[in-house]
Amino acid sequence: MTELSAHLPQFQHGQLTENFPDNHLSNTNDSCERRRHDNSERRRNDNPDSETNGQPQNIQQVVEHDEDEDEELTLKYGAKHVIMLFVPVTLCMVVVVATIKSVSFYTRKDGQLIYTPFTEETETVGQRALNSILNAAIMISVIIVMTILLVVLYKYRCYKVIHGWLIISSLLLLFFFSFIYLGEVFKTYNVAMDYITVALMIWNFGVVGMICIHWKGPLRLQQAYLIMISALMALVFIKYLPEWTAWLILAVISVYDLVAVLCPKGPLRMLVETAQERNETLFPALIYSSTMIWLVNMAEEDPEAQRKASKNSAYDKQAPANQARNEDAEADDGGFSQEWQQQRDNRIGPIESTPESRAAVQALPSNSQTSEDPEERGVKLGLGDFIFYSVLVGKASATASGDWNTTLACFVAILIGLCLTLLLLAIFKKALPALPISITFGLVFYFATDNLVQPFMDQLAFHQFYI
Amino acid sequence: MNLERVSNEDKLELCRKYYLGGFALLPFLWLVNVVWFFREAFVAPPYGEQPLIRRYVRRSALGLGLWGVGLGAWVGVFQTQRAQWGPWGDYLAFTLPLGTP
């Protein structure tokens, strides 16, 4: 399920507030596909323009073929897709950890966001605990409100609002945050830089980013940009969230993710179901897609459809017989997908709690019945998940006494959680939250390593005892 | 997006839009254009729109080269001569290095 909350960023005295949508990935399973086929059959009957010769037979064959394929795919869909997600998640975390280690700006305390008004510099431990709980509660409620707002906007088809929200979020992220990041990197490496070059660099970076993410661009470049904005967002969170608040927020967000995606009345689930009813793609722009999903008549469809397909919309599969329908839906969703993307980008507001980051991992089964490469299955992960994973690892590297031990332990924990989530995805074939398992493992590993393993290693090293 | 699944007219249109967009002080867009469409323009077997795509890629590369030379010259001048410029150097500088120049 994807959650979307939009924040309008406001910079106030070093405090950044941002609205960001939450995104979850939903994965379409084969049952979705079959449902689509059924829907497409019905639509086909209603739509006089679609090709009808031999279609029912083809659809039937497709469904049967898919069923057979599904059983095979449940086995095949495994290691390759896991690796396809490992690489971007690892890259994002590496960027965040490298920045945290080298650029001191992101570990310096320069105030807090207005979403976490209570300070943690208190006299007693109890007061600090209370403050962090209150901070986390405020963040979570902001996120819940944003998510519900997003679902309401989507339900009442206020696509323009969502679209504008996403555009503003992307603009903020691509221009403002990267400007700050660049400035801090230059200061760290003691490099002189003039305004003209900096302006040119930021302008190029931002505009090409907007083009790649919201319009058409090379897949690799789009993936790179999504990773970069996730990393920027995670860095903002790491900077502006105080310690205990950050860990609490991570824990509560995982729980909320679980609830929102799996409960029947959860906002994300409603979002996914609404999108399914309307047969629209869900958050194409807010989701990292690892590969292209090919539809049968890709070449004949407008590039809009293609772009959306490449964006890993889980619901982007439509039967070939519904090509006309596809194009309509695609045209409809064109703006929508951009909005979603921006929402995801915007989500990463530094101060905003990140309920958005929950993204379910989504595997897209190929719905083509032709000899299109059956291996071309996209795996999708929401950008919110990237952000929260990176926040966890970044915080671990910034504040742990165990330093690299703890960082690596958290990194491994998150990857293990991702594997398990993908496994569950392959089994259940529906939208799943990607945060809970990974974040739980990450938190457990962080506290265990920091408090148990690290002192043990220190003692071993101190006594020169090698095991 | 994958260029293999796009029709030739759409490829040409995309290449052309990237080329025109680069004139808005966007050499990076020209770089993306050159890298992305290089295979289409020079390596792929010839098809109807290829000469036009080739033209756009060549022009993007030319523009990129000019931008590279200009930017390189400016950055070189700035980095080496900044200290001697006095107040102007400081006005232009976004970050100033600490310590003696």
Which residue did the predictor score with more confidence, B95 or A261? A261
Minimum CA–CA partner of A210 in chain B: B29
Residue A385: active-site member:
yes
Q: Is A282 within the bounds of a domain? A: yes
Q: Which of these ranges, A1-15, A114-128, A271-285, B39-53, has the smallest mean pLDDT? A: A1-15
Q: Is A381 within the bounds of a domain? A: yes
pLDDT at residue A310 tops 80? no
Minimum CA–CA partner of A296 in chain B: B5
Report the domain count for chain A. 1
pLDDT at residue A218 tops 80? yes
Range A247-268 average pLDDT: 92
Q: Is B98 within the bounds of a domain? A: no
Q: What is the pLDDT of residue A231?
A: 95
Residue A66: active-site member:
no
Q: What ipTM was estimated for this complex?
A: 0.93
pTM: 0.73
Q: Is A353 within the bounds of a domain? A: no
Q: Is A263 within the bounds of a domain? A: yes
Mean pLDDT across chain A: 73
Q: Is A268 within the bounds of a domain? A: yes
Which chain A positions have a beta carbon within 8 Å of B27's beta carbon?
204
Q: Which of A66, A316, A385, A450 is catalytic?
A: A385
A292 pLDDT band (50/70/90 cuts)? Answer: low
> Tens digits of per-residue pLDDT, A42-94?
444 444 444 444 455 555 555 555 555 555 555 545 677 788 889 999 999 99
Q: Is B32 within the bounds of a domain? A: yes
Q: Is A193 within the bounds of a domain? A: yes
Q: Is B49 within the bounds of a domain? A: yes
Which residue did the predictor score with more confidence, A285 or A87? A87
Q: What is the pLDDT of residue B28?
A: 95
Q: What is the pLDDT of residue A71?
A: 52
Q: Is B99 within the bounds of a domain? A: no
* B6 three-class SS: coil
Q: Is B71 within the bounds of a domain? A: yes
Domain membership of residue A102 as a residue range: 80-291+377-463
> Tens digits of per-residue pLDDT, A321-345?
333 333 333 333 333 343 443 444 4
CB contact under 8 A, B32 and A298: no
Minimum CA–CA partner of B37 in chain A: A218
Domain membership of residue B38 as a residue range: 3-92
Q: What is the pLDDT of residue B90?
A: 78
Alpha-carbon gap: A284 to the closest alpha carbon of chain B (Å): 13
- Percent of chain A having pLDDT more than 90? 34
pLDDT at residue A437 tops 70? yes
Q: Which of A257, A333, A345, A450 is catalytic?
A: A257
> Tens digits of per-residue pLDDT, B41-83?
888 888 888 899 999 999 999 999 999 999 999 999 988 888 7
Q: What is the pLDDT of residue A78?
A: 65
Q: What is the pLDDT of residue A74?
A: 53
Report the domain count for chain B. 1
Q: Is A306 within the bounds of a domain? A: no
Q: Which of these ranges, A20-29, A96-105, A132-141, A442-451, has the smallest mean pLDDT? A: A20-29
pLDDT at residue A36 tops 80? no
